[in-house]
Amino acid sequence: MIGVLFDGFAYGMLLFLLSVGLSVTLGMMNFVNLAHCAFAMIGGYVTVTLMNQWHWPFLATLPLAFLGPALVSVVFERALYRRLYGASDLDQVLLTIGLAFVSVAVAAYLYGTIQQPVRMPDYLRGSVTALGLTFGAYRLFLIIMALGITLLLAGALEYTRFGAQVRAAVDNQRMARGLGINVDAAFAITFALGSGLAGLGGALAIEIVGLDPSFAFTYLIYVLIVVSVGGLGSIGGSFVAASLIGISDVAGKYYVPGLGAFLIYLVMIALLMWRPAGLFGRR
Amino acid sequence: MDASAISSPQAYMRLQARWRPVELAFWLATLLPFWLTPDYLVLASQIAITALFALSLDLILGYAGIVSLGHAAFFGLGAYTAGLIAKYGWGEPVTGLIAATLVAGIVGYAASLIVSRFRHLALIMITLGMGLLLAEAANSASWLTGGADGLQGVKIWPVFNVFSFDLYGYVAYSYALIVLFLVFLLARRIINSPFGLSLRGIRENAVRVPALGAPSRAHLRKIYTIAAAIAGIAGALLAQTTETVSLEALGFQRSADVLVILILGGAGRLYGGLIGAIIFMVARDQFSGNTPQFWYFWIGALLVAVVMFLPNGILGGFAKLASRWSKVF
């Protein structure tokens, strides 16, 4: 029971890393970015390439798995996304689905459609025993990492000048502009940060869920569920929603394997019908 | 169009509903494959089915503004209904088609009660979620649907007990084309009615239309149900002409494909889905070959290009060119 909760929570933390950036950028610009998981996939492939081709240690690849997608995303943001901020949902969905398709094809071209093998360092393999319970070392590492990032994010958003600007822009974009906040710049930085976190999530996800070109679509669905259930622009909401969904997914697969992902979709639809703006959303 | 020539709303509607020579030419051209490319009639029947599916999405997306990422749910429902009926002893195609229409329509009505309440991201998520839910259900219920192996043992009787489905697709294409044309007439009638006009109003501004006396949500429910039923017809046609149903009929990929087709052709134009289906299916037949993942590179690039440069699809681009042409001369 505790084991299932633990695994579910670790999985939820992975989903949180993957989705928190999308939540904040959606809340700020109302931009439906379905290519978000393509950026996460870039992070995954950065780690795989560095580890398998250049034999970097796993931990050393993580900063680059963050920076790579962040840089790529900011290029796309300035070149393509920026033109569609005022456009309809449909146009945004089409553009970003198009980019996701391209990313899947490029990944398949460069790396093939097979799962990428990655060998974790020894200290992240095996398990840790504490209080008479056994925890997977990698999952523990994942949880600590995610909790650290959450604290960092929440702190930055709460106590820094930049965080205040972002919060203002999420609350009321036009008012924030009126007060002289450079919303476009704040958005570009947030967008890069969010994509970078997704890339980090993608790199961390390899050990748990594997990595192949279909990643951009498979996890997009989970990420969208987390974002819409948690509520747009809310880090706390994403955290709670990701934990809930991670735990219920792992528990569902463990106790009622026949249902598969059925439960998650049902929970999402029910929650959205009850609160269309998500659990912690205000709009 | 000369505004002063329109004397009344009735005259405007009649003018809109008039058949144009281009349309007649288009439908006559759909008969050409029988003589010009008899080897490709199977592909032609697939195109007709896809066009029908795109037409159903056009009704809700192009005319009513409901962005759906899960429209394949109704396509798959129709396909499985028709397939299952035929598998368990009743292979008559026309009644199978009607049954599939009813099932997809009823489920569509139930879904419309939910869908009509949402807009924006929540709407996209709800349609996506319902599509995935159904796909997952079909996957789990493998005793009924055959799961990942697909539905086997579907036997379809000859149409009207006379025309049996042949290997070359003569009957399949004729059958699909006739159904497509009949449904197209229906869709055309709907779009050129006052109801169709108010749908376009809802697309432009869902809040203001009720103030003009048209109930937004009731209208959305109606058109969503109709579109679901039409998607069911398309699915049933696929099941009957190929005599098998696979999980892919319900999948996200199909929902995304039909969206691409419609956008490529031009949403909000009756012929958009039809033209898009022709281009998409022919291109896929020619280029995809044994590397489907690279095919999606071009689809993705095309989507980006259409959104950036051709906001109203190919037909929209033509319309713009035509209006410029008429201004010059």
Q: Break chain B into its structural domains and give their ranges.
A: 35-252
Which band of pLDDT confidence, cut at 50, 70 and 90, is reported for residue A230?
confident
User: Do the Cβ atoms of B69 and B131 come closer than 8 Å?
Assistant: yes
CA distance B208 to chain A (A): 18
pLDDT for the residue numbered A221: 83
Predicted confidence band of residue B80 (pLDDT cuts 50, 70, 90): very high
B146 or B177, which is more confident = B177
Which position has the higher pLDDT, B45 or B119?
A: B45
Q: How far is A183 from chain B (nearest CA, A)?
A: 22
**B297·A269 Cβ contact <8 A:** no
Q: B139: nearest CA in chain A?
A: A260
Q: Which of A84, A268, A276 sits opposite B129 (nearest CB)?
A: A268
Q: Do B136 and A277 touch (CB under 8 A)?
A: no
> Above 90 in pLDDT, residue B235?
yes
Query: What is the least distance, in Å, from the CA of B146 to any CA of chain A?
Result: 15
Q: What are A244-272's pLDDT values in tens digits?
A: 888 888 888 888 776 767 777 887 888 87
Which range is least confidently modeled, A130-134, A187-191, B31-35, B306-310?
A: A130-134
pLDDT at position A282, please? 64
Residue B71 has pLDDT above 70, yes or no: yes
Nearest residue on chain A to B118, alpha-carbon basis: A276
The CATH fold assigned to A2-274 is ABC transporter involved in vitamin B12 uptake, BtuC (1.10.3470)
Question: Residue B244's beta-bridge partner residues?
Answer: none
Q: Suggest the residue from B128, B144, B204, B250 to mutate for an interface test with chain A (most A CBs closer than 10 A).
A: B128
Identify the CA nearest to A15 among candidates A275, A251, A225, A279: A225
Q: What is the pLDDT of residues B201-234, one digit of tens each?
A: 888 887 888 888 888 889 999 999 999 999 999 9
B201, B212 Cβ separation under 8 angstroms = yes
pLDDT of residue B1: 47
Residue A114 has pLDDT above 90, yes or no: no
> Is the pLDDT at B238 greater than 50, yes or no?
yes
- pLDDT, position B291: 67
Q: How far is A40 from chain B (nearest CA, A)?
A: 18
pTM for the whole structure: 0.84
Split at pLDDT 50, 70, 90, the class of B293 is: low
Facing residue for A109 by CB, picked from B267, B294, B308: B294
**pLDDT band (50, 70, 90) for residue A42:** very high
What DSSP state is assigned to residue B184?
A: H
CB of A106 within 8 Å of a chain B CB? The answer is: yes
List the single residue in A with minimal CA-CA distance to B127.
A269
Interface touch A260/B296, C-beta < 8 Å? no
For B154-164, what is the mean pLDDT?
77
Q: Which residues of B touch A25 (CB under 8 A)?
A: none
Q: What is the pLDDT of residues B242-292, one digit of tens each?
A: 888 888 888 888 998 898 899 888 888 889 899 999 988 888 888 776 666
Contacts of residue A188, Cβ cutoff 8 Å, sequence gap at least 6: A74, A77, A78
Among B123, B125, B306, the strongest candidate for a mutation testing the A interface, having the largest count of A CBs within 10 A, is B125
